[in-house]
Amino acid sequence: MSKKSKDSIFDNYGGLINSLLIANGVSILLFILRVIDSGDFRYWFLMWNLLLAWLPLVFALTLTLRLKKTRLKDTVNILLIVLWLGFLPNSFYLVSDLIHLQVTSEVSVLYDAVLFMSFILNGFISGYLSVYFVHTVLIKRIGAQTAHYFIGFVFLLCGFAIYLGRVLRWNSWDLFLHPTSIVFDVSEQVVNRAAQSRASVTTLSFFILTGGMYLALWQLVRARKN
């Protein structure tokens, strides 16, 4: 991203980005305090997953700014949408890290619960903001109804992507590095009845969670505007 693009993002969304940075700083501080107190980097993956959660927001902001001067079908814009779709599940994937939460002799489990929730909330905020930006620009370009259906489908894909990441251990970049292997694994989930059931339950659970919360937030924003 060029310096000019970065400056434009901060000029237009400086207050929003600063607020997110402060919220993320709280999570990082909680993690650092845990490391200092316990001398253990047990939950280091939260930092990495939070970084990945920022990528779809960067792609969405860049797309929003580009669409002020370019068409939706512009090659770069299409690439940004593909990258946004590929990395968006990382924003919501953080909630699945709760499976790692456990009682240890290092610090209070309540402290770790606060630590996890701070990272999860920051991931969700970044993800929902990126969806909101894409949602609003699509309404202007392809119409409200089509945009609504597309966003709903995106949340369904996110639910399945979280299953692929948590259960089958695929990462977002594997979509570009190992697409054939992912297609093979996805086909296996369709053919294998036992895997099909597990994949369906996981996908629908995350779809209802992330999509339902976004719908509520979308309605709140619309009510506030009205």
Q: In terms of Cα–Cα distance, which of 47, 19, 24, 23 is closest to 35? A: 47
- Looking at residue 10, its pLDDT comes to 56
| Phi-psi map region of 203: left, alpha, beta (phi>0 left; psi -120 to 50 alpha) | alpha
Q: With 0.75 as the threshold, say if the pTM is over it.
A: yes
Q: Cα–Cα distance between 177 and 170 in angstroms, integer? A: 11
Q: Cα–Cα distance between 64 and 77 in angstroms, integer? A: 9
H-only helix segments in the chain: 3-38, 45-66, 75-87, 89-93, 109-142, 144-166, 174-177, 179-191, 193-225
Q: In terms of Cα–Cα distance, which of 51, 59, 64 is closest to 81? A: 59
Helix 144-166 with 109-142: angle, nearest 10 deg: 150
- Looking at residue 2, its pLDDT comes to 46
Torsion of CA 64, 69, 73, 79, to 10 degrees: -50
Which residues make Cβ contacts (< 8 Å) with residue 108, sequence separation at least 6? none
The segments of the chain whose pLDDT lies below 70 read 1-12
- Looking at residue 5, its pLDDT comes to 45
Tokens of 5: 């693009």
- Looking at residue 189, its pLDDT comes to 74
What backbone torsions phi and psi does residue 91 show, to the nearest 5 degrees? -65, -35
- Looking at residue 118, its pLDDT comes to 97
- Looking at residue 11, its pLDDT comes to 66
